[in-house]
């Protein structure tokens, strides 16, 4: 018996990195998983790996920063796998620029991908969760939402927005048996590339002395996806290697 037997999950940004790790762990625990990512071949590869575990999976190539595309993608995932019990808003990007030098296009892209996408995807699944009086929504933020970072004002602002959205939504849907929580990972060894000098500086700030691994964070997303997470309301989990201790 898996912890997610019979559940249907939608994971965004699931072709690589933390999203892939979460999708694969959910499948290993019995869930069917819709794999959403703008990298279509990558999404298909993860879906194939999930099917090899004996679970159903449906890959969707989608730009989660585009409202119309999200509606189509979520509808397709629901048609293929059924109404979602779990949504993981993981898709995101990271770029670096001092605020004074930042182009408006860079700011706008960050807000669309890292914050507006959470709004679009969550709004699309909520009617289905409300109708069934069950849901788990897990938003991936960042430790920089708490402390900020030089050259990362746009990223920190978007991720802080995710926390505000998480808490506010919890007020709206908890009584419908929908648990909404957030995870703020520290730097992870994934395909998300940042300038080497920035990454080296950040690693030196970590109490643990190294970047984290996907398998050290994905179990937090598993906990929040289970029925046992009902008493976590608008909470923030901080697996960050000691970058910020709260």
Contacts 24+ apart (CB under 8 A), 124-130: 124/70, 124/71, 124/74, 124/75, 125/10, 125/74, 125/84, 125/87, 126/173, 126/178, 128/78, 128/83, 128/84, 129/83, 129/84, 129/85, 129/173, 129/176, 129/178, 130/173, 130/176, 130/178
Give me the catalytic one of 26, 134, 155, 171.
155
3-state secondary structure of 157: helix
Report which secondary-structure segment, H or E, holds 23: helix 17-28
What is the 8-class DSSP label of residue 8? Answer: E
155 assigned to active site = yes
In 70-91, which positions are buried (b, 16+ CB within 10 angstroms) versus exposed (e)?
beebbeebbeebeebbbbbbbb
Which residues are identified as catalytic?
Answer: 155
């Amino acid at each position: 018996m898996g912890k997610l037997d019979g559940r249907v999950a939608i994971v965004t940004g699931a072709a690589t990195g933390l999203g892939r790790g979460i999708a694969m762990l959910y499948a290993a625990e019995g869930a069917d998983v819709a794999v959403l990512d703008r990298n279509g071949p990558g999404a298909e590869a993860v879906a194939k790996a999930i099917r090899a575990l004996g679970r159903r999976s449906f890959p969707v190539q989608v730009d989660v920063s585009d409202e119309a595309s999200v509606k189509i993608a979520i509808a397709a995932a629901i048609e293929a796998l059924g109404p979602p019990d779990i949504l993981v808003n993981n898709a995101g990007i990271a770029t670096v620029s001092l605020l004074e030098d930042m182009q408006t296009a860079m700011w706008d892209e960050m807000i669309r991908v890292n914050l507006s996408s959470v709004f679009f995807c969550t709004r699309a699944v909520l009617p289905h969760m409300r109708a069934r009086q069950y849901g788990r929504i897990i938003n991936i933020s960042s430790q920089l939402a708490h402390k900020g970072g030089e050259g990362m004002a746009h990223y920190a602002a978007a991720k802080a927005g995710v926390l505000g959205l998480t808490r506010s939504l919890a007020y709206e849907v908890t009584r419908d048996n929908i648990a909404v929580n957030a995870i703020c990972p520290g730097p992870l060894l994934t395909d998300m590339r940042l300038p080497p000098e920035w990454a080296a500086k950040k690693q030196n700030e970590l109490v643990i002395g190294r970047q984290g691994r996907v398998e050290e964070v994905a179990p937090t997303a598993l906990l929040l996806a289970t029925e046992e997470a009902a008493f976590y309301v608008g909470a923030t989990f901080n697996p960050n290697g000691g970058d910020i201790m709260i």
